Amino acid sequence: MMRISIPAALLVCAGLSAAAHEFWLEAPRFRLQPGQTINIRPLIGENFKGEPWTNKAEKVMRLVRFGPTPADSTDLTPAPSFAPTDTFRTALAFTKPGTHVVLLRSTNSFIEMPAAEFAAYLREEGLDYTLKLRQERDQQTAPGRETYRRCAKALVQVGEVAAVAAATDSACRKIYGLPLELVPEQNPYRISAGKALTVLVLRAGLPVSGAAVQIWQRQPGGLPTTHFTVRSNQNGRVLLRLSGPGPYLLATVSMTEAPAKLRDRADWQSTWASLTFAGPSAAVRRTAAKH
């Protein structure tokens, strides 16, 4: 399993530019008290700095909050009968203590790029297989016709983690059947500072070997956001150490040939996945220091 600390990764990846296509769910606070309602904003941007994605209901295929128990959920997915001018809501109430998951999946969008620009984009995002296929098929001068979709999850902790049972962690470790998904194998809110978190990369429910996963960590006190990239191992796992309170953004992208029903508009289908959460709280870090 690939293992890397944030300071070391900064040295390794110095000079690499951040991808400009990240999409994530941003909470004003990732730790809440029971009964609070907040807006979870879908953002798009680079270096963990984003702008509002859209407010059009037609762009949302699925928007759900899953609570710490299976019966506790809120489905804000727009109805299929929406009009082009309809908007979707992002205000969610977090009632029960535990770790909640907010999930958003977008519909497909389409884009076409000049050949050189498309090749540069594939290299920057680590999509080496698509680049290789285009070379083998002598498509280097053909424009890149792509359909893309986005899958984002945010983990929100309600109540002090030490005061709730570990059984309330099930939602954050569950697989939700997204076409591309980042699944934490431990609850990051229960991990003390400096300890490791493993995250599984799944495509169509199967582990992805060699996926490039980008990781950002916001630093307190106005310090620069840290960023590095790791590849998933043969079992589809990446490992990182939670060295500070964050929040953290993990993101990855996969590209395959476009399905037959979309071939009139696209040759390639990309899927973008992200996961956001906060790191160890001050209380957790103090407890870790005592041990």
Q: Is the peptide bond before 7 cis (omega within 30 degrees of 0)?
A: no
* pLDDT value of residue 141: 95
Q: How far apart are CA 36 and CA 146, in angstroms?
A: 40
Q: How far apart are CA 264 and CA 112, in angstroms?
A: 12
Name the stretches of the chain with pLDDT < 70: 1-20, 282-291
* pLDDT value of residue 289: 40
Q: How far apart are CA 229 and CA 243, in angstroms?
A: 16
Q: How far apart are CA 51 and CA 8, in angstroms?
A: 29
Q: Please, where are the H alpha helices in the chain?
A: 6-12, 115-124, 128-136, 282-290
Owning domain of residue 173: 3-290
Query: Tens digits of per-residue pLDDT, 68-87?
Result: 988 899 999 998 877 778 89
pTM: 0.88
* pLDDT value of residue 282: 57
**Number of domains the chain is built from:** 1
Beta pairing partners, 4: 240
* pLDDT value of residue 264: 95
Identify which of 144, 147, 150 has the alpha carbon closest to the alpha carbon of residue 120: 144
Q: How far apart are CA 180 and CA 267, in angstroms?
A: 19
* pLDDT value of residue 185: 96
Beta pairing partners, 226: 217
Q: At what angle do helices 115-124 and 128-136 cross, to 10 degrees?
A: 140
* pLDDT value of residue 120: 94
